[in-house]
Amino acid sequence: MMPDFLTRWGMRRLLETNLVHRIPPPLSLPPSLPPSPPFLPLCVLAIIVGSKAAVDCDVFKVPKDVEVQRSSFMEYVESLKKLPIAMNTADANDQHYELPPEFFFPIMGDRLKYSCCIFKPSTHLDDINTAEVRTGVSSYLLTSCLQIDSLRQVEERAELVDGLDILELGCGWGSLSLYMAERFPKSRITSVSNSNGQRQHIEARAKERGLKNLTVITCDMNNFEAPEGKRFDRICSIEMFEHMKNYDTLMGKCVKWLKPGGKMFIHIFVHKHLAYNFETEGDDNWMGKYFFTGEVWLRRMDRNMKTIRPILSKVYGEENVTLWTARWRGFFLACSELFNYNRGNEWYVSHYLFEKPSNM
């Protein structure tokens, strides 16, 4: 495997290359930048094109011509309306979500929050590791504290209170759904996941905690409909909408599922200027290909390989452990580099709160 410092450098160069690729025509990829050779691994490809891409990115910025920007954006919006709500949903399960929770516990902590967490401005990554040495509190527990802070922020920004009917779309391993069920015992939580394994895990954790106000549904977002006669005061979605395609159709469904005056909270990955599809084609789109789709996750994986390796062997086969170790480490490295690019001012997450008019 490549040394991490070289992998990180390569990823930053590829991010720059991707920015050049995403610029709307006519200011698109300069012809002097070579196409991606299908046989080259990630870092070798990055080394070849990196220096050129870095120079090109200084020249080929988002066009200042507002008509070019607007035309390209509207073409993209119209193209999404011709697609299904979600694509490659079966692949997502095979590649990512059907791994057992035992794989994720050592990496993500007890709550299995598979999404961004809040770090206070004064918090340094090494603080999590040094705190373990200084206080004896495990990084496992410290990671869970970061997750709780993030869940509390969702509670505040989604304006959650007890007694509501709440729908979570794309609930993952249930970090938010279980939190809401515990926090608001008079609320009724309905959660949707495309993974049977995730549903079984959430149901088991709810049973352990004696939670009877949580219902989990396994369903593809293309096919999901709210239970007959059921409407919701809140809809929450954490890091699912970036994987959707036909927002027009999906948002139309969400309006139907909300009660008059109901609200929908969306937490979504964004780029500061560009809108583009999450792609799986091409050998340099390895993250999209192998993970449909943090630094803390990476460090925790490295520290817990004795626990993780047997799980990888069981899921992927002993002969593929090294390959999938590299892919998972690469995924976590990519998460870290993506959100750290341009000091966090290029790709980040945005929060949106929509409200259905009370007269609808």
In a domain, 108, yes or no: no
- The answer to whether position 216 is within a domain reads no
User: Is residue 40 domain-resident?
Assistant: yes
pLDDT in tens, 184-236: 999 999 999 998 889 999 999 999 999 999 999 999 999 999 988 899 999 99
Contact 221, 189 (CB under 8 A): no
Q: How far apart are CA 236 and CA 213, in angstroms?
A: 16
Any domain includes 58: yes
**Structural domain includes residue 99:** no
Work out how many domains the chain is built from and give that number.
Answer: 1
The span from the CA of 158 to the CA of 236, in Å, is 7
9 vs 76, residue with greater confidence: 76
pLDDT for the residue 87: 85
Instruction: Summarize the confidence of residues 244-252 as an average pLDDT.
Output: 94
pLDDT, tens digit, for every residue of 132-177? 434 333 444 455 667 888 899 999 999 999 999 999 999 999 999 9
- Span between the terminal Cα atoms of the chain, in Å: 57
| Per-residue pLDDT reduced to its tens digit, 275-285 | 777 654 444 44
* pLDDT exceeds 70 at position 326: yes
Region 242-253: mean pLDDT is 93
4 within domain boundaries: yes
Whether residue 322 lies inside any domain: the answer is no
Look up the domain containing 23 and give its range: 1-80
6: alpha, beta or left? (left if phi > 0; alpha if psi -120 to 50)? alpha
pLDDT (mean) for 311-323: 87
Asked if residue 37 is part of any domain, the answer here is yes
Q: What is the pLDDT of residue 67?
A: 84
- 73-129 pLDDT per residue, tens: 888 889 999 999 998 766 655 555 557 778 777 777 778 887 777 766 665 555 544
Confidence of residue 28 (pLDDT cuts 50, 70, 90): very low
Q: Which conformational region is residue 35 in: left (phi greater than 0), alpha (psi within -120 to 50 degrees), or beta?
A: beta
Q: What's the pLDDT at 231?
A: 97
